[in-house]
């Protein structure tokens, strides 16, 4: 499980860089706490969120995600949400480097809160 606290400024237009590591065949949980520029919890009441992982960034053509994270607000008013992938989903990811981002939206406004690399690791040992 990874924990990340980031500052979100909707006016900046810049996503916060956060890199993730996923082990294939395991459940992934990334816990995020989002603060506003004054350091208080960002209130996401009434907002929606989505996040995808892809092997590469595509420019000018359709991008097909390798997986879609489940994004669940654990405290909308407290600026907290989890990114999760099930073990059956991570099992289907090939080892390597991916990219991802997290989008949040309110009404017609969409913001990229975080983005970064995802390192997917396959195990080298097996249980007896």
pLDDT in tens, 40-77: 999 999 999 999 999 876 555 556 788 999 999 999 99
Residues 6+ apart with CB under 8 A from 93: 22, 24, 53, 66, 67, 120
- Quick check: 127 pLDDT over 80? no
Mean residue pLDDT of the chain comes to 90
Cβ atoms 71, 83 nearer than 8 A: yes
Per-residue pLDDT at 79:
96
Q: What CATH number has the domain spanning 2-121?
A: 2.60.40.3350
| 15-40 per-position pLDDT tens digit | 999 999 999 999 999 999 999 999 99
From residue 78, give the alpha-carbon distance in Å to each of 5, 12, 32, 74, 122: 12, 21, 11, 8, 35
What's this model's pTM, rounded to 2 decimal places? 0.88
């Amino acid at each position: 499980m990874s924990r990340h606290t980031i500052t979100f400024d909707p006016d900046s237009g810049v996503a916060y860089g956060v890199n993730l590591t996923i082990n294939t065949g395991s459940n992934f949980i990334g816990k995020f706490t989002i603060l506003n520029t004054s350091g208080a919890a960002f209130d996401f009441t009434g907002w929606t969120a989505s996040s995808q992982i892809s092997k590469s960034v595509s420019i000018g053509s359709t991008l097909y995600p390798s997986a879609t994270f489940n994004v669940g607000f654990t405290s909308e008013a407290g600026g907290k949400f989890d990114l999760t992938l099930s073990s059956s989903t991570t099992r289907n990811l090939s080892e390597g480097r991916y990219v991802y981002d997290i989008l949040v939206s309110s009404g017609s406004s969409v913001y990229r809160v975080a983005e970064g690399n995802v390192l997917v690791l396959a195990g080298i040992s097996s249980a007896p």
